[in-house]
Amino acid sequence: MKSDSVSTIMTKNVVCVSSEQSILDVKHIYEKKEFHHHIPVTEDGKLVGMISLIDFMYNIKGAGINDDNIVYKELKVKDIMTPHPYSLTTTATIEDVAKVLAKGRHRAIPIIEKEKIKGIVSTADIIKFFLSQ
């Protein structure tokens, strides 16, 4: 039901990066199969930013797939991340998340508890949920 906790549909084992990591690490994450395309940025487990595939693509400026390209060595996660991303807590419902995502401003919502990342929900997760109903 849409009044169920968001924790029933969120991805719980979230791949995160730190703000000091190289964007080469981000590239390698995006090269993995079935990735959600949004990467939370954490410091000491606390959510401090978010990187989307669009953020990444705009900032690599056609660097291509070669890991040796200088852009992958020079840029850090902090240089391309969106700081202070919108998030919801683990008390949110599926309907709460669906309403936020339906506005079209976000494609994924990090789910936090006491400022620490607990999960992430994407538009694809919401669509799958409603199709299964």
* pLDDT single digits (tens) 86-130: 999 999 999 999 999 999 899 999 999 998 999 999 999 999 998
Q: What is the pTM of this model?
A: 0.89
Interval 16-27 mean pLDDT? 95
Q: What is the predicted pLDDT for the residue at 35?
A: 73
Q: How many CB atoms lie within 10 A of CB 107?
A: 15
What is the predicted pLDDT for the residue at 118? 95
- The total number of residues written for the chain in this structure: 133
Per-residue pLDDT of 22-66, as tens digits, reads: 999 999 998 886 776 799 999 998 999 999 988 998 888 878 888
- What's the one-letter identity of residue 68? D
Q: How far apart are CA 24 and CA 53, in angstroms?
A: 13
Cβ atoms < 10 Å from Cβ of 14: 18
Q: Does residue 96 sit in helix, strand or coil?
A: helix
